[in-house]
């Protein structure tokens, strides 16, 4: 009997949860056809992207081998999707040796995600773009610490100062982890940890403007306890000769600038030949079906997904990508059997942010009330979320 082939392209948070959901919903086919489920990704591992700040502060691994998380009977193809021929149900990809190959599918799920927004050349500092960049960040502040001799007061102040430019979730978590790691390392080297300074530059009026003022205030208080000072309505412009020029005309002496300017859709999306929005995200309906492309679905950061009831567009977060993937399993099964399929629904408001080892802050809105939890309980919630997102916990 012929197989029914589902190919999931991209093994980030959306992709791995889609693999699990498709397996759960479609393992048994009404027509008896056997499900062949394939994941394609350029890397031989799942990258725990939300922990990208970890290699910037320590040596913990943030990758997970595929065989630890994928359904046992599924297959993995190491490769990079290049183009989709939706009329012929054919995916063109580059394999791990650089050769162009083709894969036929019955259903294709595109979840190739996003990349970090890059800085323009010549602005100095290091953008937290991937694992290599994270390692360079760590090398830089360790090197600074080695040079920060007790007798060199003036130079020491600069060398023990770091700035994080961009105060979204990544910037906040990176700044607090950096402050914690740098203070610990300073103490270990006999330097005064109180001399370590981390500045977080926020171009907006307050942190996390999507949430209530109360949550932003609490977040800022918790950051201050970690040793992070927040500068609102101020942007980093350029780092030059140990000085970071800010948009208000002032300058900070810094030994390191880390740029965390948010995410943009993966540029590879445009080359796939599927319909995209102006900013390069795949256009889908309320069931994640890519417009005019039979059998092709898209979820996660690479898709432009709008709640059909509220009109609200999904943001680039794994907290949204995971429920999309779980719903997609049911949608694909419903489409296959011709029954009514679920529709996209925006997730509840809220955030959980890690603020260095053992600390965090969680905000959620329930029954019209703002619920805020901080400290070690919040960190436990965050750790669970990190593990759940990478399917290390069910």
Ligand X SMILES: Cc1cc2nc3c(=O)[nH]c(=O)nc-3n(C[C@H](O)[C@H](O)[C@H](O)COP(=O)(O)OP(=O)(O)OC[C@H]3O[C@@H](n4cnc5c(N)ncnc54)[C@H](O)[C@@H]3O)c2cc1C
Quote the least distance from Cβ 318 to ligand X, whole Å: 4
Binding site residues, ligand X, CB under 6 A: 9-15, 40-43, 47, 49-50, 52-53, 80-81, 111-114, 169-170, 266, 268, 300-301, 316-319, 321
Number of neighbours of residue 221 by Cβ within 10 angstroms: 11
Quote the least distance from Cβ 295 to ligand X, whole Å: 18
3-state secondary structure of 115: strand
Residue 119 or 170: the one with the smaller Cβ distance to ligand X is: 170
Quote the least distance from Cβ 208 to ligand X, whole Å: 12
Residue 161 or 324: the one with the smaller Cβ distance to ligand X is: 324
Quote the least distance from Cβ 306 to ligand X, whole Å: 16
Residue 29 or 78: the one with the smaller Cβ distance to ligand X is: 78
Quote the least distance from Cβ 300 to ligand X, whole Å: 2
Quote the least distance from Cβ 322 to ligand X, whole Å: 8
Quote the least distance from Cβ 193 to ligand X, whole Å: 25
Hey, what are 162's tokens? 């770091």
Residue 95 or 243: the one with the smaller Cβ distance to ligand X is: 95
Residue 137 or 246: the one with the smaller Cβ distance to ligand X is: 137
Quote the least distance from Cβ 142 to ligand X, whole Å: 20
Hey, what are 331's tokens? 């949608």
Residue 155 or 350: the one with the smaller Cβ distance to ligand X is: 350
Query: Are 251 and 241 contacting, i.e. CB atoms less than 8 angstroms apart?
Result: no
Hey, what are 115's tokens? 């990349």
Q: Which helix (H) or strand (E) holds 197?
A: strand 197-201
Distance (Å) of CA 387 to CA 114, 204, 375, 382, 390: 20, 31, 19, 9, 5
Question: Mutual orientation of helices 376-389 and 318-337 as an angle, nearest 10°?
Answer: 40
Place of tokens 């193809």: 77
Residue whose C-beta lies closest to ligand X? 12
Residue 277 or 337: the one with the smaller Cβ distance to ligand X is: 277
Residue 143 or 270: the one with the smaller Cβ distance to ligand X is: 270
Query: Are 350 and 364 contacting, i.e. CB atoms less than 8 angstroms apart?
Result: yes
Query: Which burial class, exposed, middle or buried, applies to 57 when counting CB atoms under 10 A from its CB (0-12, 13-18, 19+)?
Result: buried
Query: Are 375 and 221 contacting, i.e. CB atoms less than 8 angstroms apart?
Result: no
Quote the least distance from Cβ 172 to ligand X, whole Å: 9
CA 29 to chain centre: 34
Q: Where are the alpha helices (DSSP H) in the chain?
A: 13-26, 54-57, 66-69, 131-147, 153-159, 169-188, 213-226, 268-271, 318-337, 376-389
Quote the least distance from Cβ 82 to ligand X, whole Å: 7
Which long-range contacts (C-beta less than 8 Å, at least 24 apart) are formed by 237-245?
A: 237/123, 238/122, 238/123, 238/124, 239/123, 239/124, 239/125, 239/163, 240/124, 242/158, 244/124, 244/125, 244/163, 244/165
Residue 103 or 186: the one with the smaller Cβ distance to ligand X is: 103
Query: Which burial class, exposed, middle or buried, applies to 71 when counting CB atoms under 10 A from its CB (0-12, 13-18, 19+)?
Result: middle
Residue 49 or 183: the one with the smaller Cβ distance to ligand X is: 49
């Amino acid at each position: 009997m012929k197989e029914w082939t589902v190919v999931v392209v991209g093994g980030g948070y959306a992709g791995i949860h889609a693999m699990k959901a498709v397996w759960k919903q479609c393992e048994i086919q009404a027509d008896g056809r056997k499900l062949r489920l394939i994941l394609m990704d350029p890397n031989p591992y799942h990258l725990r992207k939300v922990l990208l700040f970890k290699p910037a502060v320590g040596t913990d691994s943030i990758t997970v081998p595929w065989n630890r998380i994928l359904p046992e009977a599924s297959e993995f193809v190491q490769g990079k999707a290049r183009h989709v021929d939706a009329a012929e149900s054919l995916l063109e990809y580059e394999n791990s040796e650089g050769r162009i190959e083709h894969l036929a599918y019955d259903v294709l799920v595109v979840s190739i995600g996003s990349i970090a927004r890059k800085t323009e050349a010549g602005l100095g500092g290091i953008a937290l773009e991937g694992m290599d960049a994270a390692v360079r960040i760590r090398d830089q502040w360790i090197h600074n610490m080695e040079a920060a001799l007790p007798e060199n007061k003036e130079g020491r102040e600069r060398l023990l100062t770091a700035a994080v430019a961009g105060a979204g979730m990544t910037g906040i978590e990176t700044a607090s982890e950096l402050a914690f790691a740098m203070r610990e390392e300073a103490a270990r080297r006999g330097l005064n940890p109180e001399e370590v300074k981390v500045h977080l530059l926020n171009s907006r009026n307050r942190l996390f403007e999507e949430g209530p003022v109360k949550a932003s205030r609490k977040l800022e208080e918790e950051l201050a306890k970690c040793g992070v000072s927040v500068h609102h309505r101020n942007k980093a412009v350029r780092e030059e000769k140990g000085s970071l020029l800010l948009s208000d005309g002032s300058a900070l002496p810094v030994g390191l600038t880390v740029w965390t300017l948010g995410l943009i859709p993966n540029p590879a999306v445009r080359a796939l030949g599927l319909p995209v929005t102006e900013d390069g995200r795949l256009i889908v309906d309320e069931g994640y079906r890519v417009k005019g492309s039979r059998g092709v679905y898209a979820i996660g950061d690479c898709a432009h997904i709008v709640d059909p009831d509220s009109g609200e567009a999904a943001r680039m977060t794994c907290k949204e990508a995971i429920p999309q993937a779980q719903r997609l399993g049911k949608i694909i099964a419903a489409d296959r059997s011709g029954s009514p399929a679920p529709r996209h629904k925006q997730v509840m408001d809220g955030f959980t942010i890690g603020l260095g080892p053992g600390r965090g802050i969680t905000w959620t809105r329930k029954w019209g009330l703002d619920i805020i939890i901080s400290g070690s309980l919040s960190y436990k919630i965050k750790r669970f979320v990190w593990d759940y997102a990478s399917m290390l916990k069910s």
